[in-house]
Amino acid sequence: MKFRTVVIAGLGAAVLSGCHHAGDLVVDEGIGITALKTTCPAVGIPDFTGDVTLFNPPQARTADAIDVTASMTDVRTTCDDSGDKVYAVANFEVVGQRRNTQGARSVTLPYFATVTRGGETVVAKKVGTVTLNFADGQARAQANASGSAYIDKAAATLPPDIRDRITRKRRAGDAEAAIDPLAQPDVRAAVNRASFELLVGFQLTDDQLKYNATR
């Protein structure tokens, strides 16, 4: 599943040599990786799920039949990894627009919060709703929503031997220094197993998802 990463607090495969942020894998002048991913999950919106379009009539797909559109924006994350379970929350705003501004109107939209492991395996999913309340005469409305998840801290922690192989100092000229530890299959597999993502998006129908992918 492709997704847009909003917060990179837990992406284990990223190796950066510029700015250092908590949770990145950081290479220190070619002699080793000096910072490891945190146990907090990355947070993102899967491709084509951050927007939803409602039509009137529902079966129409032309621009003049667009009734309501909504988008997820301003995704923010909080994470508490002080206990045996990591608790992560993705807060976001939903901004909607409607074509007909006559009368007050409420529009309820379903959304999901999914936890994936290793970028592919879904380990948990919750579905919630967010309601946009349009005032009479107003074309725009917005609302706040959130998705949360508990993740086993032990599962999100790299084994000590893998951490040692990744962070071990290497001297220039050593044969070992020319080998990227993340290129080794067992190391990469361990990093993937310990990498979790908390993904949020609109719970779309097949037709809505197809519309987003082809518009």
Amino acid 215: pLDDT: 85
Unique residue bearing structure tokens 């608790």:
87
Amino acid 166: pLDDT: 81
Q: What domain range includes position 69? A: 3-214
Which secondary-structure segment (H or E) carries 185? helix 185-193
Distance (Å, whole) CA 59 – CA 193: 42
Number of helices (H), then strands (E), in the chain: 3, 12
Amino acid 152: pLDDT: 96
C-beta of residue 110 within 8 angstroms of C-beta of residue 203: yes
Distance (Å, whole) CA 118 – CA 42: 11
Nearest to 28 by CA among 160, 169, 161: 169
Q: In what order do the strands lie in the sheet with 140-152?
A: 51-55, 66-80, 85-98, 140-152
Amino acid 15: pLDDT: 26
Name the domain count of the chain. 1
C-beta of residue 180 within 8 angstroms of C-beta of residue 170: no
Read off the pTM. Answer: 0.78
pLDDT, one tens digit for every residue, the chain (215 residues): 444 433 323 333 332 223 333 344 444 444 444 445 689 999 999 999 999 999 999 999 999 999 999 999 999 999 999 999 999 999 999 999 999 999 999 999 999 999 999 988 999 999 999 999 999 999 999 999 999 999 999 999 999 998 888 877 766 656 565 567 777 889 889 999 999 999 999 999 999 999 999 98
